[in-house]
Amino acid sequence: MKTKAATPSSTESVDNYLKVIHALSEPDGPRVSSNAIAERLGLRAASVTGMLQKLAVSTPALVKYEKHHGVLLTAAGKRRALEILRHHRLLERFLHDFLDYSWDEVHEEAERLEHFISEKLEDRIAAKLGDPQTDPHGHPIPEKNGVVSERKEVKLQNWACGVPAVVTSVSDRDSSALREMERLGLRPGVILTVETGVRSASLSLRIEGKGETVRVSQQLAAQISVAPI
């Protein structure tokens, strides 16, 4: 997954752009609007447009950009995005498993470090961890060659009542939500059943191994992904 792209592809800012484009392209198709990128990064749309234009003419080109038609990653851009994503998720796992960071702390630390670790350090972290498949939040870690395991997930808020499911991943973007999930026992690997409330303000869940049901807001349920057992 190592890429030798020239500047500006080696900058932290560009890495963040590529990672966001990759994340936004997964649920909605290959093309991503500049407004969606601006919203995710907290930037003005004009600033985003300027950066996308630079990425489109870099060597190698990292995106394909058409005004009013959105942007998509080139092969080189996707390789770099997956490399950074691998760094990020390996770092999260290392911080959590070896340095005792809680799962609501690891995201920000990994964001700071992901751009700067060498390929050698990446390999050593992976080996020390035993080449894990997921980060602490259940997200798949891209393999060294860029392959990412595919799985069919459904947001908990859309899961049918009465059908058991396993939590596969949770969003890592909101530390307070992660602390609430921790309090409720909602971690990847947990088996649960939605009892009531799919169309109401909150869901009633029965978690395997717990005697009592728990209530989960629709907002929190939207950050939890599940799959059939």
Query: What topology does CATH give the domain 154-228?
Result: SH3 type barrels. (2.30.30)
Predicted pLDDT of residue 28: 55
> 10-residue block means of pLDDT along the chain (229 residues)?
42 93 78 94 94 95 91 95 97 98 96 94 97 97 93 93 97 96 96 86 92 92 96
Which residue ranges does the chain devote to CATH 2.30.30.90?
154-228
Distance of CA 122 to the CA centre of its chain: 18
Question: Looking at residue 69, what is its pLDDT?
Answer: 87
* Assigned token pair, 133: 């498949």
Write down the pLDDT at residue 110.
97
Q: Which fold has domain 12-77?
A: Arc Repressor Mutant, subunit A (1.10.10)
User: What pLDDT shows up at residue 7?
Assistant: 41
pLDDT at 9: 40
Domain with CATH 1.10.10.10 in the chain: 12-77
Q: Please give the pLDDT value at position 27.
A: 59
pLDDT at 2: 44
